Structure 1
């Protein structure tokens, strides 16, 4: 067991050390998502080659490792992603190095999704080592554009057949049978009648890097034409400055504000503290120029409401509520443009066409342009489906518990399967640190995941009716 654990840590360390963040400037025909994601894919496929399994790299977009002979359409699959979101601010550990401390493993991707990828791979390797007889092949499929627009899976399944069944270790236990529908949108607002002579002039506001991350930092540049307003601003910020939530730098009449919040996954915005929204709540108390005030009170405030109520799209079902996360916020008086990029996640039962129509109505009423960047319909697997019940059986067999299946706001590769469900790696009552600073998981949890994934893969490989 000691040797197994060391190999697990070595593989995870190698994978975490790869900065597999999408970089458009680095994209080539061999590495369509940039150098880091390509390196992560090649790393994992190399493991498969070294361990004597069938390996295929599909044009640098995605790849698979197969155990057992047979056609791809007959395979049972486990799907993982090897790309990660940018680290963002606030880390106390090195984000792209595996740190082990008090039973915890730290690093970007340890939870989302490199830790589970290693667990699933080690489970597959164990089945090979033990010589388990399989009735159909098992495929470990790895994508590298999951955190963005899933172009990896689109291309992979143009070239490879779609497995009928499988699981995705990229969410929570015990099993996820419902995933929300997703609209990623960009809203732009042209800035007119900019008044540079207002007592306080908003020159710029920047926050966030990805629509699926709650921004942990925001910065604004103001021109303070009235010294009295500067004093009032310091009073407004007094308690936040003391708590290190704001930083102020003055250069003559130009003031830079840096605001700090708490990052979180855009699928669960209420777990974070949105830095740009926090900044907007301060700015709207100042006598801003009209363009700046309109941006703060309309565009930022309405898209900063995570319930969607201010946009007129609030929705709730028995097991899910709609959420909104404005992950990218930009305001620039010099270019006369403002922009928000957001992810809207609605219960699986809500038709996305209906949601689009409501957002179009909002944009038309506000005189703004709204463009849909990406659209993913909701995914649902009946809770009494044999796959869902088998996953619950495995979970109960290893934990002694059998909770009800869950619905989530995140999007997993389960959507690309006819019959698919997400299964771990996050256990109930564990802290969800995906997309956060100092992302971590307990090593013992990942080892338990490995045992459960081996159990699931064996059952899938020996079943004919799943």
Structure 2
């Protein structure tokens, strides 16, 4: 079995892959618990996507098993040990339909790209890997390990799909997730999603009383909008102190200010512009704020303003191999019941979650705030000297002719559920797939090259 033989088959199956992928893209597989039922724990859309993938696997006479709609796997080959390829069929919902140039649930081909929700993250890679198993079977390849495509239904949300799956299945010896970037992500930073909460009723002891603060409550992204409602008898005087680009309106005799930023993934706070920072900078010097609003502004200024790497929290750390900490202030809310500060902290190899948690609790106690831990994901690190990484490096170099570099990211792939796993493509450095955003796409030529890399990796590792 040569790479030329595999490439020829991939080329011949290009139209078939596109057709199968179009059927998956047509299914809105966003988590929807309103349609939850038996064997559809994440809703009917994800169930339909699983059913379609099972249909494809059975068509190719591959072994397939469904685990109550939480996860499924597709196998080729025999062996006591298993090489796992992990991906998912659930998607991030369409929040910005007006920004799409085409129907997100219809696969469109244009100028060498496939467009549609999931073509890159992660339906496209799953279809591509299914076709690799089909090709290996047709070429009568005899691996020394079982090759197992493990597919989950809650990667974009809770990951309970993988917890359920591994209750019934043995841990693979190693594996990779085609849900990241090339060359090789051998470190995925530790992640913590947190909230500080103050239970305290509103105060009205100022000239400018903040009645409410609302913002787009997405803990995974840089805050792009904050709306502040203010009760005051002196709106004209307040407006003189506010940045001129801030939008304003009157709502039930209250002044409403709207701060806008630029959204970005929480793991990359430097790529966005945080709307909360604009609010803090406007209000931190204003005299006459009510005491609760001043307390909130002072806290945000002291620990978060312009501190996207955790310096003000006292938690900045940099590891030469795996990078530095990041700190994203994702949203704030305030109402008569108190206020909430939500943030996302990520850390590289060399520091510990225990140290981070201890410091965050300390800050909470010092400021009479309750720390709420929303979600934690431990750091993933695989040694460059491991058999897995050495095999993937060779596969990448064999196909691209380039010497691969290892790197670290703040993202989270299913590689984290393995004892030894890494994220490995399908995105090349020149690609802009727009995952989670409007006009998600995949470069078809690069996609085919990624599949060749995966085929070579499978051969080297099995």
TM-score (norm 2): 0.87
| 1:183 Cα deviation after fit | 1.8
Is 1:212 matched up with 2:212?
A: no
Q: 8 Å contact 1:119–1:453 — kept in the other structure?
A: no
Say which of 174, 195, 200 aligns to 1:186: 195
Q: Secondary structure at the match of 1:132?
A: coil
Identify the residue that residue 78 of structure 1 maps to in structure 2.
85
Paired with 2:23 and 2:260, the residues of 1 have a C-alpha distance of 31
Alignment of 1:367-406 (within 5 A): 367-406=368-407
Mapped contact 1:197–1:225 kept (Cα < 8 A): no
| Greater shift in the superposed pair: 250-259 or 113-122 | 250-259
How far off its partner does 1:364 sit?
1.0
The 1:78–1:342 alpha-carbon spacing in structure 2 relative to 1, beyond 3 Å, is same
- Find the counterpart in structure 1 of residue 414 from structure 2: 413
CA separation of 1:332 and 1:400: change in aligned 2, threshold 3 A: same
Residue equivalent to 1:350:
351
Q: What corresponds to 1:324 in structure 2?
A: 327
Partner of residue 5, structure 2: none
Superposed displacement of residue 296, structure 1:
3.7
Describe the superposition over 1:71-116 as per-residue Cα deviations: whole angstroms up to 9, x where unpaired.
Answer: 6xx2211001222333334723344443433333333333332332
Distance 1:294 1:98 in 2: 50
Q: Return closer, same or farther for 1:387/1:200 CA change in 2, 3 Å cut-off.
A: same
Deviation at 1:278? 3.6
Mapped to 1, the partners of 2:29 and 2:301 lie a distance apart of 30
Q: Are the counterparts in 1 of residues 175 and 418 from structure 2 also a CA contact under 8 Å?
A: yes
Partner Cα distance (2:302, 2:40) in 1: 39
| CA distance in structure 1 between the partners assigned to 2:283 and 2:50 by the alignment | 44
What is residue 132 of structure 1 aligned with on the other side?
141
Q: Give matches, 1:256-335, under 5 Å.
A: 256-284=256-284, 288-299=289-300, 302-303=303-304, 305-319=307-321, 320-327=323-330, 329-334=331-336
In structure 2, stretches of 5+ residues that fail to align are 1-9
In structure 1, distance between residues paired with 2:259 and 2:28: 26
Taking a change above 3 Å as real, the CA distance of residues 108 and 313 of structure 1, as seen in their structure-2 partners, is farther
Question: Aligned pair 1:100/2:109, yes or no?
Answer: yes
The alignment status of 1:253 with 2:253, answered yes or no, reads yes
Return the alpha-carbon distance in structure 1 between the equivalents of residues 45 and 27 of structure 2: 6
Q: Does the CA-based 8 Å contact 1:83-1:145 persist in structure 2?
A: yes
- Equivalent residue, structure 1, for 2:6: none
Q: How far apart are the structure 1 equivalents of 2:376 and 2:247? A: 37
Alignment map for 1:87-236 (pairs within 5 Å)? 87-89=94-96, 91-93=99-101, 94-195=103-204, 198-209=207-218, 211-229=219-237, 231-232=239-240, 236=243
Deviation at 1:257, TM superposition (A): 4.1
3-state SS of paired residue (1:148): coil
**Does the 8 Å CA contact 2:209/2:293 hold for their aligned counterparts?**
no
Question: 1:29-77 CA distances to partner (integer Å, 9 max, x unpaired)?
Answer: 4222233333333332222122211111112111111113456xx2211
Are residues 301 and 395 of structure 1, via their aligned partners in 2, closer, same or farther at CA, if it must alter by over 3 Å? farther
RMSD between aligned residues: 2.7
From 39, 53, 58, the equivalent of 1:49 is: 58
Contact 2:259 / 2:275 at 8 angstroms: preserved in 1?
Answer: yes
Cα offsets for 1:214-260 (capped at 9, x unmatched): 33444333344313146426x6133xxxxxxx654434533444444
Q: Equivalent residue of 2:329, what SS?
A: strand
**What SS does the corresponding residue of 1:449 show, helix, strand or coil?**
helix
3-state DSSP of counterpart to 1:309: coil
What stretches of structure 1 of length at least 5 have no aligned partner?
Answer: 239-245
Deviation at 1:158?
0.8
Give the Cα–Cα distance (whole angstroms) in 1 for the partners of residues 237 and 448 of structure 2: 57
Task: Please tell me whether the aligned partners of residues 92 and 438 of structure 1 are also in contact (alpha carbons under 8 angstroms).
Answer: yes
Partners in 2 of 1:382 and 1:247 — Cα distance?
A: 51
The whole-number CA distance in structure 2 between the counterparts of 1:208 and 1:275 is 13
**Deviation at 1:285?**
5.6
Q: 1:157: how far off?
A: 0.4
Pick closer, same or farther for the CA change 1:338–1:45 going to 2, 3 Å.
farther
Number of equivalenced pairs: 448
- Cα pair 2:87 2:152 within 8 Å, conserved: yes
Question: Partner residue of 2:16?
Answer: 7
Q: Is the 8 A contact 2:213 2:226 kept in 1?
A: no
Whole-angstrom CA distance in 2 between matches of 1:443 and 1:254: 53
Q: 1:309 to 1:60 in 2, by over 3 A?
A: same
